[in-house]
Structure formats: C-alpha cells, structure tokens
Amino acid sequence: QVQLVESGGGLVQAGGSLRLSCTASGRTISAFTMGWFRQAPGKEREFVAAIRRFVESTYYTDSVKGRFTISRDNAKNTVYLQMNTLTPEDTAVYYCAATESLRSVFVQRTYDYWGQGTQVTVSS
C-alpha cells in the first residue's frame, strides 16, 4: 500500500507560482509512475502531468506545457509540480496519483493510489 499526501496549494494571483508536493509513505516512489490530476468546480477530473518510473519521461496536458514542470526526488519520496504563470483557469483541486502499471499515464483508471487533494485558487 502507498499513502500519498499533497501539500503546497493555496491562493495566488494570476501570473504567480506555486509548487505542489506529494509525499509518499509505505513504499518508495521510485517504483511508481507518478501523476498529477486536477478537478475544477463543476468539471470532471483531468490529467495534468506525469513522470514515468525508471525512464523519467514526462508528460503534460497541452494547457500547462511550458508553465508546469513535474519532477521527483526519490530520496525524499516526493514528487513535485512546479506551476508558473498561473491563470484563473488553473483553479482546481490537484490530486497526486501513483501506479506501477505501464498503461497510459493520461488515464485515471491507470492509477492505483490517490491522495486527498490540495486546493489551488488563482485570482484574477
């Protein structure tokens, strides 16, 4: 079992930055592909970014490319999402997820473990 805890959310003005953290316990995240998803009010949860285990390939949804960066620190058992140039459209609850599967990183059902989420609010 893996427990995931997100942190780093908050209120920020448009154009600002936040760094989300997802710390795992129970197992080392080096064995997992890690993903970030988000759910805005009234919308379905959507893929944001992912980083594959071992090969460290990264993936992003088009709307965050060039603004968000996913990374991991295996020694700290933590994955990060650096978010720059935030816009009100980025307002959502952000979830961290983990999987050992080789299936598509873009699909929610690929992931076996989920955090509780952290709220990000971007004011205009």
Residue 55 pLDDT: 83
Residue 87 pLDDT: 98
The count of C-alpha atoms lying within 13 angstroms of the C-alpha of 78, restricted to the half-sphere facing its C-beta, is 15
Residue 54 pLDDT: 85
The count of C-alpha atoms lying within 13 angstroms of the C-alpha of 29, restricted to the half-sphere facing its C-beta, is 30
Mapped onto helix, strand or coil, the DSSP state of residue 79 is: strand
Residue 8 pLDDT: 97
Long-range contacts of 102-110 (CB under 8 A, 24+ apart): 105/33, 105/35, 105/47, 105/50, 105/52, 105/59, 106/47, 106/50, 106/59, 107/47, 108/37, 108/45, 108/47, 110/35
Report phi then psi at 90, rounded to 5.
Answer: -85, -5
Rounded distance between C-alpha atoms, residue 7 and residue 11, angstroms: 13
Residue 12 pLDDT: 98
Low-confidence residues of the chain: pLDDT under 70: none
Residue 92's CB is within 10 A of a number of other CB atoms, namely 22
Residue 16 pLDDT: 98
pLDDT digits (tens, 9 = 90+) for 90-120: 999 999 999 999 999 999 999 999 999 999 9
